[in-house]
A and B are shown apart, each in its own frame.
Chain A
């Protein structure tokens, strides 16, 4: 059964999606089998690719559009939304 879900979540104001926070985000995405993407200002990146996520250059407070497709899509989005809210520098 394929599921497709999407959520939007804001980065904490003081945290850009650069080096360490991006690695934490990507490692969370990699725990799931679903294909997961992250969209920022109309650009979309593979959430499991550290280089693609870094290239988004998302700054603190930016809204991330998370999209997942696959049997564990809802769990992946729950985990990622929690991860983003809890990111620190």
Chain B
């Protein structure tokens, strides 16, 4: 299944969203948090994101969602280094809704393209 990586400035935000997402999508989908800077600070590091991508990757692709700002730059930097060889996709999607939509679609065994699209379509979804 396509793995999901959640990149946030906050350790707690990334881990909390991963827990919520896993509860909805089920344990078959790898949802990996990558949050926080060195020594418990707010921020993102290349190394945390790199390791989360490795954990999420089962060979069918990885969709990466980032909260905002420099977390996106961190992911882009890794992808430009060639990380993931084209099967790691950074998507432009709302963090919570995008993660949940992507993970539920992944749980049905859909391909990377479909999982990425589900996350991006969450941009237009109403909450109620």
Contacts and interface: CB of A to CB of B under 8 A. Distances in A.
A23 B127 contact: no
A7 interface: no
Interface residues of B, number: 20
Contacts, number: 39
Chain A contact residues, majority secondary structure: helix
B125 A52 contact: yes
B104 A23 contact: yes
Given A50-B100, A51-B125, A55-B128, A27 B23 contact: no
Contact of A50 (B20, B23, B104, B127): B104
Interface of B: 20, 23-26, 97, 100-101, 104-105, 107-108, 110, 118, 121-122, 125-128
Interface of A: 19-20, 22-23, 26-27, 30-31, 49-52, 54-55, 57
